[in-house]
Structure 1
């Protein structure tokens, strides 16, 4: 079942974060931090699929992960410098790994790289039910000659006669003019909307009926219980098998709550249940009696995946 999860954050010096350490953790590579004189490496059980996308006017070294983020930190030396913008996004489990990469690459290229940002992409597949990507984005554009550009410029405020206006303290009045709109809330909302559109178009091309929306259930007018996205922070806190089972069952209960919205045809249900075991048939029959209607499985395009997930839910139910 495709879900929408997309969160943005900043990697900044003010929060004590390091662009090199962040890139090393997400990519799974060993990266040397020139400023700190140390190497960062975080071993991962499943090696991430990582790559870098660069705009046309970026220098060659921007494709080198270690060089890129060292240059970012050298250029932005203030104590509150924001080294990078990052987003974490869930990838549709209905797609193959190559299709997930194709979808993500096209989206990142069109929405960020074509706008002048370097994108450092890392796809994590530590858990088959939670494929997701971390994308680190440069906050500063490049000039046509490949040098770092400005994010903003200072504009001095003058009166109608062109005379410089002063503050009460006698300093020239001025305002900051942003040269990029990458930090605006409206832009982030646009990126979120574009991701939902990209996913839905891709799923439609593959004849997969699932759709996602960047809007909340309330905004969509849907009375459903949302399932939880199991991100990296959640994984860290819930590594024990029991906690994982509890979380999985909660998601299963949320899906059961929405079954009455998924009733379509009796004939397809009967044909599909012929492949289930006696125990599974009994469980579905019991659930149908509770809902006082047939349970529709029409929208599950992969029978094997459905059977696998259903068996897992039964195991979890018995274990908890």
Structure 2
């Protein structure tokens, strides 16, 4: 069975790893690391089925001639003690393909996605004749030119690139499976994402055939994913029991998908299927349509339902070797098509005395009356907009942040004057309140409006020669000395 497995990782010196050791393990050969002097020998392994190095056209020949020269050069140009030297991944090849197609698929995939962008790909094929055919690929991180390696290309480390690479592998593998005549397909997405997409497509299907296919797909993907088992413990009894149990769940889901397809593909077209709860209900009866009779009568035109284009499905649950055609959903929203008049649809024409009189009147004497524009729709729309503005939280203005310390300082030092409508200082407010009180008496320290002159100032004024008593009369009672008379 074809499965999807593609995982990208990085060779890091900070983790104590070496790209030379990884290359020796993949190529099943003996390589000595010139930087550290360590030798890695995996030549005793016998599962190597092919080894290739793909490089850009401007790469020097002495670097890409074999894995020993390539990865020793990569280790030499990397100066940092905790640097990254290579990117590698292992990919599961569909077992339904022959060995030539398996190699051709991996080589074409690496050439299109990595080598054409400037990377060097070191590819090793393992166990092509077993039930677990796979390939190990190592990629360089730096750009290559005629003079050797340059700087690292940071754009290759973007996570979006790994998603595109996984999607590209699924697309190319499915094209090779289709060319080989196999009904199996792989998908780079999780089972949960495939299940949700199948339910959405089933809800929007136009006919029973398409709906049955998507419901079967939803039933098949409604299961937990298989867990990966490391090759070191693959032959153990516990690993074999675990994989057998997971395979049984997968087979049960496939059988359920076949039953779902048979059930829903044979249903009557005049039903409504709820894909969430798998409940069936009959379409309601057609309602009466009342068409008012206006001054100008128009002939009824028959409405023809739009035709839908057809496309072949990816997989058929009725027969694995049979291609099933389903309808393609059109662009835009669904359109409600009115049926032609029949026994179940009654057309009523409104009749009144005014309408009959207008019909009997000659054409030249009829007045073209325009409908009254009362603006009801406009007022209703305005009312609804105002209601939404008041109810929805996204329209409400954000409250002004409250400064508690500022409010406390205002309350302690100021009082709101209701007459003037402003805040005044507390001392001024208390002074005005005391002054407006009926029992007010000025304190000794308060300044009077017309203060009395002191005795010294009074004597000084009286002794002046230009003194005129008529202009400034002085009380005689307060005088204790003789004054000149005119």
CA contact (8 A) 1:58 1:142 kept: yes
Aligned twin of 1:16: 16
Match of 1:299 in 2: 320
Q: CA RMSD for the aligned pairs?
A: 2.2
Instruction: Report the equivalent of 1:239.
Output: 235
Classify 1:77/1:300 alpha carbon distance in 2 versus 1 (closer, same or farther; 3 Å): farther
In the alignment, is the contact (CA less than 8 A) between 1:57 and 1:146 conserved in 2?
A: no
Q: Which residue of 2 aligns with 1:204?
A: 178
What are the residue-to-residue correspondences of 1:159-174 with 2, within 5 Å? none
Question: Normalized per residue, which structure has more helix?
Answer: 1
Residue by residue over 1:198-236, the C-alpha shift from the partner in whole angstroms, topping out at 9 and shown as x without a partner, is 111111122211111111011111313323444xxx121
Structure 1 unaligned regions, length at least 5? 152-178, 266-295, 302-320
CA pair 22-297 structure 1, distance change in 2 beyond 3 A: farther
Structure 2: state its 5+ residue gaps: 196-220, 263-316, 323-486
Q: 2:230 aligned with 1:256, yes or no?
A: no
State the Cα distance separating 1:128 from its structure 2 match: 1.4
Whole-angstrom distance in 1 between the partners of 2:26 and 2:319 = 37
Aligned-partner SS, 2:150: coil
Matches within 5 A, 1:43-54: 43-54=44-55
Cα distance change on mapping 1:297 and 1:226 into 2, 3 Å? farther
* Contact 2:123/2:138, CA 8 A, preserved across alignment: yes
Aligned to 1:101: 103
Q: How does 1:177-216 map to 2 (within 5 A)?
A: 179-216=153-190
Deviations 1:267-300 (A, max 9, x none): xxxxxxxxxxxxxxxxxxxxxxxxxxxxx89438
Contact 1:5 1:229 in 2 (8 A): no
User: Which structure has the higher relative contact order (CA within 8 Å, separation 6+)?
Assistant: 1
Within a 5 Å distance, the mapping from 1:57-76 to structure 2 comes to 57-60=58-61, 61-76=63-78
Matches within 5 A, 1:123-162: 123-125=125-127, 128-143=130-145, 145-151=146-152
Contact 1:118 1:138 in 2 (8 A): yes
Conservation of the 8 A alpha-carbon contact between 1:54 and 1:63? no
CA distance in 2, matches of 1:208, 1:136: 30
TM-score under structure 1 length normalisation: 0.69
Output the CA distance in 2 between the equivalents of 1:238 and 1:31.
Answer: 28
Deviates more, 1:112-121 or 1:124-133: 124-133
Aligned length, in residue pairs: 239
Q: Quick one: distance in 1 between partners of 2:129 and 2:57? A: 35
Change (3 A) 1:146 1:262: farther
| 2-structure distance, mates of 1:87, 1:12 | 14
How far did residue 237 of structure 1 move?
2.7
**TM-score, length-scaled by structure 2:** 0.47
| Distance in structure 2 (CA, Å) of the matches to 1:262 and 1:128 | 29
User: Which residue in the other structure is 2:439 paired with?
Assistant: none
TM-aligned CA distance change 1:87 to 1:209, over 3 Å: same
Tell me the residue number matched to 2:83: 81
Distance 1:188 1:212, change over 3 A: same
Q: Distance in 1 between matches of 2:239 and 2:193?
A: 30
Q: Give the drift of 1:184.
A: 0.3
2-side partners of 1:102 and 1:96: how far apart? 10
Task: Render the CA deviation track for 1:105-132: whole Å, top value 9, x for unaligned.
Answer: 0000000011110001111118811111
Counterparts of 2:318 and 2:194, CA distance in 1 = 23
CA displacement 1:151-175 (0-9 Å, x = unmatched): 2xxxxxxxxxxxxxxxxxxxxxxxx
Q: CA deviation at 1:97?
A: 1.3
Deviation at 1:246, TM superposition (A): 1.0
Higher mean C-alpha displacement, 219-228 vs 2-11: 219-228
Shift of 1:250: 2.1
Query: Can you list the C-alpha shifts for 1:218-270, whole angstroms capped at 9, x where unaligned?
Result: 1111313323444xxx1213433x234313312321222212113578xxxxx
Contact 2:128 2:134 in 1 (8 A): no
